[in-house]
Amino acid sequence: MTIYLPIAELSVNILIILGMGAAVGFLSGMFGVGGGFLITPLLMFYNIPPVVAVATGANQVVASSISGAITHFRRGTIDIKLGTVLLCGGLAGATVGVWLFSLLRRLGQLDLVISLLYVVLLGTVGGLMLWESIAAMRKAAKNQATTLRRPGQHNWVHGLPLKVRFKKSKIYLSVIPVIGLGFCIGILTSVMGVGGGFIMVPAMIYLLRIPTNVVVGTSLFQIIFVSAYTVIVQASTNYTVDIVLAFVLMIAGVIGAQYGVRVGQKLRGEQLRALLALLVLAVGIRLAIELVIPPKDIYSVVSAGFGF
């Protein structure tokens, strides 16, 4: 069963797109990540032009994070105040990112920079998370306390000024690192076409020491707005948002996300983190291999209309 994508200008098998959307939606609901770091490479692998994949992936992320965020909102696991502060940084970062995106595209090195960023970020984040969660699981096995927040153990982040009390998260924290984190992830959103949850979640846990249960909902909350902003910017500058492709992905994605959230609730925090770490590492390794092994064809052709 094929469907024609008016913006990507090609026919695709609707079942494959539905499958991709459902699988990515499930994982995004489970881990509280937007799924952009999975959907964008998957679409490109399925011959969707990269610029369309990046913009349309962001649109799908909006739907799946809304669906996930509403579920978290009902459970009371979103810190709106913290999310709003993150969002301020995120929108500023996304604006800078759009500018950076077009600069790299002109230089013809956008795909290399994207791959390198993915490998470095996914590798670091995945490795650190895996290490930490395995240590936590070992402790749990020995019946020791597994609190992530060790009272009295503060890092440099907690010495910064402009402190604000975030009631829901039960933390008293400076807004500077929160805005800074939002800003950095905003840049990544426009350059890499990801929501940034896979970096946001661990950074909030390990750097800002925010409780894991609030982290997932709050990151989804801010991803909604940053990716919605990215979609509008991409649509008005590059005309690359394929609404048909996005809609098919969304339908499958939101359904998958609902089941993902349920499975995620059943797993323990450290198990969830270990699984997310493995997933992040797997994507990172896959991309690293692509950079290192000799390509099937050292030449590639891009037409003026599409491509990096």
Partner 1 sequence: MIRFARTALVLFAFALAAPADAALQDENADLTEKLEIGISSDEIAITSDFRGADLTIFGAVDGFDQGLLAQGRYNIIVTLEGPKDNATVRKKERVFGIWVNTSSMTFELVPESYSLSSTRDIETIAPPGEMGNMGIGVDHMRLVPLGFVGDGSNLGEFRNAFRRIRETSGVYERDPGGVQFISASLFKASVRLPANVPNGVHVVRAYLFRDGVFVAAKALPLRVVKTGLEQFITQAAHQQPLFYGLVAVLLAVVTGWGASLIFRKE
Contact residues for partner 1 (CB under 8 A)?
2-4, 6-7, 9-11, 47, 59-60, 62-67, 70-71, 74, 108-109, 111-112, 116, 228, 231-237, 239, 241, 243-244, 246-247, 250-251, 254-255, 257-258, 291-292, 294-295, 297-305, 307
Token pair for 12? 């695709």
Shortest Å distance, C-beta 151 to partner 1:
36
Q: Which is nearer to partner 1, 191 or 257 (CB)?
A: 257
Nearest one of 129, 163, 135, 144 to 277, comparing CA atoms: 129
Separation between Cα atoms, residue 46 and residue 82, nearest integer Å: 37
Q: Which is nearer to partner 1, 2 or 147 (CB)?
A: 2
Q: Which is nearer to partner 1, 19 or 140 (CB)?
A: 19
Q: Which is nearer to partner 1, 187 or 248 (CB)?
A: 248
Shortest Å distance, C-beta 113 to partner 1:
10
Shortest Å distance, C-beta 293 to partner 1:
8
- Report yes or no: 83 and 174 within 8 Å, Cβ to Cβ: no
Q: Which is nearer to partner 1, 113 or 134 (CB)?
A: 113
Shortest Å distance, C-beta 236 to partner 1:
4
| Three-point CA angle 149, 201, 224, nearest 5° | 135
Shortest Å distance, C-beta 153 to partner 1:
38
Shortest Å distance, C-beta 261 to partner 1:
9
Q: Which is nearer to partner 1, 143 or 236 (CB)?
A: 236
Separation between Cα atoms, residue 91 and residue 89, nearest integer Å: 6
Separation between Cα atoms, residue 195 and residue 94, nearest integer Å: 11
238-242 contacts at long range (C-beta below 8 A, 24 or more positions apart): 238/51, 238/55, 239/7, 240/7, 240/49, 240/51, 240/52, 240/54, 240/55, 240/56, 241/7, 241/52, 241/55, 241/56, 241/58, 241/59, 242/5, 242/6, 242/7, 242/8, 242/52, 242/55, 242/56
